[in-house]
Every structure is written in structure tokens, then in C-alpha cells.
Homo-oligomer: A and B are copies of this chain.
Amino acid sequence: MPEKDAAPSETPAAEAGAEGGAAKPEVKEEAAAAAPPQKTMKSVVLTGFGSMKMIKVQQKPEPKLADGEVLIRVKACGMSFPDLMVRQGVIDNPPKTPLILGFECAGEVEAVGENVTDFSVGDRVIALTDFKAWAELVSVSANTVYKIPDNMSFHDGAALLMNYITAYVLLFDLANLRKGQSLLIHSAAGGVGVDIVLDCLCGEDTNRGISILKPMGKYLLYGSSNIVTGETKSFFSFAKSWWQVDKVNPIKLSDDNKCVGGFQLRRLLFRQSQYGYVRNVVDSLLDLYRQGKIHPTIDSVWAFEDVGEGMQKLHDRKNIGKILLDPSKEPVPKTQGKGCEQAEANVENGPGEKSESAVNGE
């Protein structure tokens, strides 16, 4: 994919046409006729696949609320490896750019669509979304919105959602973790046998990882952070994973008393529609939170304008805990002499350019 397949200047109109039905000539009559002055919101937009430079903070039309959806005023957004993979275009069936990034957020219900019975305006919620979560407002199917306890901050909610669901499913449904078992969180293991391997790297080490499993061991793939390597090139590492990982014979697995499987949360929700399964997991997690048994660790919270810096930290695996975005947060003032790499990541937002960046989409 070329880095600049969508120039920033043509972005807003196209997006508005797709989402708000305002500006494009081929828009339907009724929408055009009814259109009041379009309200906009700040959002983190991927303008094309590639490096950090492809991410811009832009004004976008506020989302419309469809049947069964909940409109959320976003207070915190979670960031994780799938966001990096989307930026690089290394997911299958990549969506068209420009798009608003983001798969999870916490916030307050601002409006509820028809046929939504479980939520009311003012509810404090967390939500899993199929893109579009990194904005001041997002409209989400009620199927993937979850109320949070009063004592849970929005930051905690956004930090807990995706990562804790994955951990919970892997350990307590798939691996069925028991007292005394050994657990290896990636696959680059030594020669010792382990009971459970959680592999998010998924490459040539995967074959070795399966081979070092103890009898009754379980090898579980999740995500594929190995694919996120350099800044841009990564289709090849994606393909490489497929070639490097050997197919396994179910009969041999059985003879060895081993299990192999995996978990991909976004697929489970947005392709396989397993809302009930995920809701049960979220309920369990919120119970654990209420009981004080789990508490997410937050590495850092960034303004939308500083999304590049947060993303770079995640890319470099320098975070300890969750990286969050907060739409209400002021961007960190930039010093003139700042290192080039970080400045690049800080999307089009040099010193004194804040207003330009903020209205970039208008």
C-alpha cells in the first residue's frame, strides 16, 4: 500500500459523505434537504496505511444513531496492538481509508437509539467497537456496550476491557488454568516443558513452543504482535507467519495429549457475533473489579494530538500497563528542539499549530 493514497485535503469531504450525508454531490436528496449545519467532533483519523504520519487529528461529522445503537460521549480510549496493525494495513480485509481508529472506549451514554432497552442517557459504560472509538463521540451497537460500576473510573474501564477479556478467556476458558501449573506468555521458550503457552508472537517459535508443551499442555495463539515490526513494511511478516507455522495433525495432538487453539476477540464479536459469550466474560471481570481482585495498570494517558507518541511507546514495547487516549486531555507542549522521530509521531502538531491540527478536517 502506498503511504499517501488519501491526501489529508480530500479526507473530510469523503468522510462526511459516507457518514454524515452532508457535502458530497451524489448524496441522497432527503439527507441533503434535511441537513442542518453539520456538527463536528474531534477524532483520530487514519488517512492511509503506513507510518505514524498517516494519523491525523481531524474534525469529523458527529455520528448518527441507528436502531439498536448507543451514542457514547467518549472519556477514555484504549490502545493496543490491533491499532498498530490497522495503521500498517496488516489485517485481512483491511477497511478503506480514511477511517476513525479505535476499538474500545469508556464514556457516558449521550443518546440511545430505537429498540435499545438496557441503556439510558447518563449511564457510565465501556464499549468494544469495530473502529471509530477514538473520537469525542461514537455510536455503538448495544450488543457490545457494558455498564460499569460507579466506583470505576473511565480510565480504568477503558484499560480493562479488551486486554482483560483476552486474558480471562485464554486462562479460564481455553487454558483452564489450575493451581500449580506453569504458564509461558510468549513462545520464545527455553527447552523446559510448560503447561500453558500464550503466544501472541506467532512465528517460527510457535512450532517449537508446541513441541515443548508438557503432556496435557495447551498452546494458545492470540493477536499477532509479531507482525508489527518496522514502521511500515509488514505485509511480508504477515505472510511469513503463515509459512513459518507448521500445520498440526489432530491425531498426533491427541497422542501427545496436547491442545492447540486460539482466541481473536474482534473476530469473535464482529464476524462471529458471539455477544453473549463476551458479555458473560465482561460481567465476570466487572465482578472481580468490584471485589477488588483485579485492577488494571495504566502506563500513560495521552491527548488525541499526542496519539503518535503513545503509539510509538507501544510499538517499542516500552509501556508497562495500558496506553490510553483521553479526548479532554491537553496535548503536551512541544519544545522546538525535540527529537525528530517523536515529533513525527506527534501528528501534524508542532508548537503553535494546535488550532490548525484541531480543525484539520474542516
Instruction: Give me the interface of A with B, judged by CB distance under 8 Å.
Output: 169, 173-174, 176, 202, 206, 210, 215-216, 218-222, 224, 241-242, 245, 247-251, 253-264, 267-268, 272, 274, 277
Task: Kindly identify which residue among B218, B249, B258, B261 contacts A245, using a CB–CB cutoff of 8 Å.
Answer: B249
Task: Kindly identify which residue among B215, B219, B241, B254 contacts A274, using a CB–CB cutoff of 8 Å.
Answer: B215
How many copies of the chain does the oligomer comprise? 2
A278 to chain B: closest CB distance in Å?
10
Q: Would B263 and A257 count as touching, CB distance under 8 A?
A: yes
A149 to chain B: closest CB distance in Å?
25
A241 and chain B: residue at smallest CB distance: B251
Q: Would A262 and B254 count as touching, CB distance under 8 A?
A: yes
The docked-state distance in angstroms from the alpha carbon of A221 to that of B256 is 11
A275 to chain B: closest CB distance in Å?
11
Q: Would A221 and B251 count as touching, CB distance under 8 A?
A: yes
A265 and chain B: residue at smallest CB distance: B257
Chain B residues with CB under 8 Å of A250's CB are 202, 206, 210, 219, 221, 245, 247-248, 260-262
The docked-state distance in angstroms from the alpha carbon of A259 to that of B215 is 16
A85 to chain B: closest CB distance in Å?
13
Q: Would A267 and B255 count as touching, CB distance under 8 A?
A: yes
Q: Would B257 and A218 count as touching, CB distance under 8 A?
A: no
Q: Would B248 and A248 count as touching, CB distance under 8 A?
A: yes
Task: Kindly identify which residue among B173, B248, B264 contacts A254, using a CB–CB cutoff of 8 Å.
Answer: B264
Known: A174-B176, A220-B259, A242-B251. 20 other contacts (CB 8 A): A169-B216, A173-B176, A173-B216, A202-B250, A202-B254, A210-B250, A216-B268, A219-B250, A221-B253, A250-B260, A251-B262, A253-B261, A254-B261, A254-B263, A255-B267, A257-B264, A257-B267, A257-B272, A258-B262, A260-B260
Chain B residues with CB under 8 Å of A249's CB are 242, 245, 247
Q: Would B268 and A215 count as touching, CB distance under 8 A?
A: yes
Chain B residues with CB under 8 Å of A176's CB are 173-174, 176
The docked-state distance in angstroms from the alpha carbon of A109 to that of B170 is 44
A280 and chain B: residue at smallest CB distance: B178
A273 and chain B: residue at smallest CB distance: B215
Chain B residues with CB under 8 Å of A247's CB are 247-250
The docked-state distance in angstroms from the alpha carbon of A245 to that of B247 is 12
The docked-state distance in angstroms from the alpha carbon of A253 to that of B173 is 16
> Known interface pairs A222-B254, A241-B251, A250-B206. Does A261 touch B264 (Cβ–Cβ under 8 Å)?
no
A20 to chain B: closest CB distance in Å?
34
The docked-state distance in angstroms from the alpha carbon of A250 to that of B222 is 10
Chain B residues with CB under 8 Å of A268's CB are 215-216, 257
Chain B residues with CB under 8 Å of A259's CB are 174, 218, 220, 259-262
Q: Would B202 and A251 count as touching, CB distance under 8 A?
A: yes
The docked-state distance in angstroms from the alpha carbon of A245 to that of B264 is 25
Chain B residues with CB under 8 Å of A260's CB are 248, 250, 253, 259-261
Between-chain CB contacts (< 8 Å), 16 pairs: A173-B176, A206-B250, A210-B250, A215-B277, A216-B277, A220-B259, A221-B253, A245-B251, A247-B248, A248-B250, A250-B260, A253-B262, A255-B267, A257-B268, A257-B272, A260-B260
The docked-state distance in angstroms from the alpha carbon of A224 to that of B206 is 28
Chain B residues with CB under 8 Å of A173's CB are 176, 216
The docked-state distance in angstroms from the alpha carbon of A251 to that of B220 is 10
